[in-house]
């Protein structure tokens, strides 16, 4: 007689294993983060792709002894109510040592920032030319600072 393994328990075991493998994702409004040493986490920000908006990891970089960037990506969410495409930009990090550091992201509306970008060089909010009308707040580059404490 052969014995059979109890397969009904397999989905429960797989669910338990996969639940612990995820990483925390923090939205644009979550500015004070506490993460465990060794934890991977993501900052998630909305992108108005149809309007030419971009996001960048800005200088100064986070303390490399506390947090390290592991990459970034942009995912299109589909069409928004205005017929354009909405997207989300994800910045991935890993906590590598105890301490506190800041992560700065730069939000760049279309033509709202100057610099090298992917071609190299630092990106910063564009200056307003003298004699020109001051652009509205939604047309200028803005920094978003996240304080990260690694326990």
Q: Are 70 and 38 in contact (CB under 8 A)?
A: no
pTM to 2 decimals?
0.71
- Under DSSP, the state recorded for 60 is S
28-64 confidence digits (pLDDT tens): 899 999 999 999 999 999 988 777 788 989 989 999 9
User: Per residue in 100-133, pLDDT tens?
Assistant: 999 999 888 877 677 655 555 566 665 555 445 5
- The CA radius of gyration of the chain, in Å to the nearest whole number, is 21
Instruction: Please give the residue that has the higher pLDDT: either 1 or 15.
Output: 1
Ramachandran area for residue 83 (φ above 0: left; ψ -120 to 50: alpha; else beta): left
How confident is residue 138, by pLDDT bands cut at 50, 70 and 90? low
């Amino acid at each position: 007689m052969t014995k059979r393994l109890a397969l009904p328990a397999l989905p429960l075991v797989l669910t338990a294993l996969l639940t612990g493998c995820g990483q925390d994702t923090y939205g644009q409004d979550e500015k004070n983060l506490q993460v465990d040493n060794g934890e991977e986490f993501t900052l998630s920000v909305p992108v108005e792709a149809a309007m030419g908006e971009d996001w960048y990891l800005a200088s100064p970089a986070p303390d490399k002894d506390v947090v390290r960037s592991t990459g970034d990506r942009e995912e299109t969410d589909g069409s928004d109510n205005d017929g354009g495409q909405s997207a989300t930009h994800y910045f991935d990090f890993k906590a590598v040592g105890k301490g506190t550091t800041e992560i700065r992201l730069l939000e760049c509306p279309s033509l709202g920032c100057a610099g090298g970008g992917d071609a190299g060089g630092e990106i910063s909010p564009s200056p307003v030319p003298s004699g020109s009308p001051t652009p509205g707040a939604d047309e200028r580059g803005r920094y978003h600072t996240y304080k990260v404490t690694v326990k």
